[in-house]
Structure 1
Amino acid sequence: MTDDLRAAVPQVLAALVRRGADFAAAEDAVQDALVEGLRTWTADPPRDVRAWLVTVAWRRYLDAVRSDVARRRREEVPEEPVEVPGRDDSLQLYFLCAHPSLTPSSAVALTLRAVGGLTTRQIAEAYLVPEATMAQRISRAKRTISGVGLGEPGDVATVLRTLYLVFNEGYGGDVDLLAEAVRLTRQLHRGFDHPEVAGLLALMLLHAARRPARFSADGALVPLASQDRSLWDARLITEGVSLLQAALGRDQLGEYQAQAAIAALHCDAASAAETDWVQVVEWYDELVALTGSPVARLNRAVAVGEADGPRAGLAALADLDPGLPRWAAVAAHLHEADGDLARAAELYAQAAAAATNAAERAHLLRQASRLSA
């Protein structure tokens, strides 16, 4: 499916839902229309793809309604000329697919399906689960929001959290979820003027800029401090910083703007040693104040260790729960910096045992082996 066609999917789906179609049935009708389009457009594609899809999808929806005897008894759906709305209702789909009644995993799956235009198989492969499992997850999500109307007030924080979760998954299978998250957030940013939307897009771009340096030629994970910064994408960094500066200028600080500011400081430094760690700590203070997140406090301990020395970092770490993900890895780094190599090796091994990512586990095992030797 081309990018233009995928971009039309949420607009067509929104048009059907706006006309009163049930979300699940509308989504099925849109998929049928896409299949029909891909089958028949080879020789003679329509001038207006979106209008064609809306017309065909609405007819498929009406056919499905008529074939359902029980539903025909409840209501009559008159066949009438299809008006393609001039406005783009796809923005409302973001709010619908990230409805607070959905679990985070269901919201992510439904967003990728309905807004992103991905197939169930693609989503399942990206999340490394069986296709049947993902199909059930998406079906449950559709049922959950079946009574929610398009246009009802939405929660932008939930939408952003959903896109953030997609971005954090990285990539897998034949779908690059990192790129997909950037694409969807760009689309949201074009239609929704909000500083946190800009902040999230800036954060994604700044992290994506470092992506070419994250792995070595043999696939080994390369930590930030050791990355070849000449490989970073300067164009994405410039765009991300520009978005961030505009968002911060509106004086409505949120967690994604704070995270983007930290990422910008890393991107601005010629080397890890030249990073303005004092400012990084200050931004982590802002982030902790905004969210109270233990993960933010964990990352703050690393920054404190760089700004004020490993002993100060360990003191900041002492207030945190050792059961936190990556706590052992952070403690290992700080103990190594403080010269306690035996304790650091032990903690690296402990962190490796708890790691869920194969590349991260291999990296931590190499660190433990290096110090043990």
Structure 2
Amino acid sequence: MEWVETTGRTVAEAKDAALDQLGVDEHDAEFEILAEPKSGLFGRLRAEARVRARVRPTRPRAKEGRRGRARGEGSRGGRSRASGGSTADESSGQDADDGEVLSTGRAAAPRATVASDEPGRGEGQTSGRRRSGSRGRRTGASGGAAGRGAAVGAGRADDERGERLEPSAGRSGRGRGEAARAAGEEDMTMNEDVPLDEQGEVARQFLVGLLDQFDAGGSDVQIRQVDEETVELAITGEDLGLLIGPKGATLQAVQELTRTVVQRQTGGHNGRLLVDVAGYREKRKAALERFAQEVAEEVLSTATRRVLEPMQPADRKIVHDLINTIDGVTTTSEGEEPRRRVVILPSG
């Protein structure tokens, strides 16, 4: 199945569009994230998410089984057609002249190179090209049948066996090609589950090179495994505000770029990679939790809903998690990326 490429305002939206095109369930499809959505100035969407997907391939039958079946079909077909050709030519072979014999020999000659690879068939193919002497040897080996008609029948039978060999060999070649493609697809599936420490090292090397380009040579990158599915790369140093940007926008872009580099170099799509600069994420989380606590108290006292400013998905999750611990208030989200925002409202 060929890959299809779709876009959307979010990765989930692009995946849904791909599933609509493929007409399969998400469990029956493979995805590759080509590009994450990017926000431009003033919160506008600068670039949509791009996703490549295809129907998950099924493993084909074993190569040996297919080749053996193809060879068996070729040999059965060759025997049946050879016997039929011999019977028909023996009945009318008395009227055949030397021109017919030569014509039959020339027709079989191009296929002699194919049949000569198997024992016992090279002599039969050669006899199709020769005249009286070769025909005599051919008919003597097959049981002493005499006459020019029998030689014509034998030549045509070998010709038909040669024709049967060609598609059989083609099927074997295609079988080897299919097996090679299946092995490649299996390797691709295996590469999707890359160890997190290996992904973290690739990400660290990329960030070190990025820091050199930013002329931040005194900085350091440390790898910390948060849990079984998450690896955090912490950048420490001085004067790193340029890597954070307003409300962490530059940091978010660096994180998405790092993820893309890791996916392309390792082929791994498992686990999560987080990038933090100078402890910004922890500081941002603490500030958001304090802010959400104050807004929740205001909503409880006034019984009116409050709409917060647009936030990135990670920031919205922090607000949702905190509000869920407070009785009497609840949260919801409205709008579309990158203008999606959290709404805090009284519950019940």
TM-score, normalised on structure 2? 0.22
TM-score, normalised on structure 1? 0.21
Kindly indicate whether structure 1 or structure 2 has the higher relative contact order, using CA contacts under 8 Å at least 6 residues apart.
Answer: 2
- Which protein shows a greater Rg? 2
Higher helix share: 1
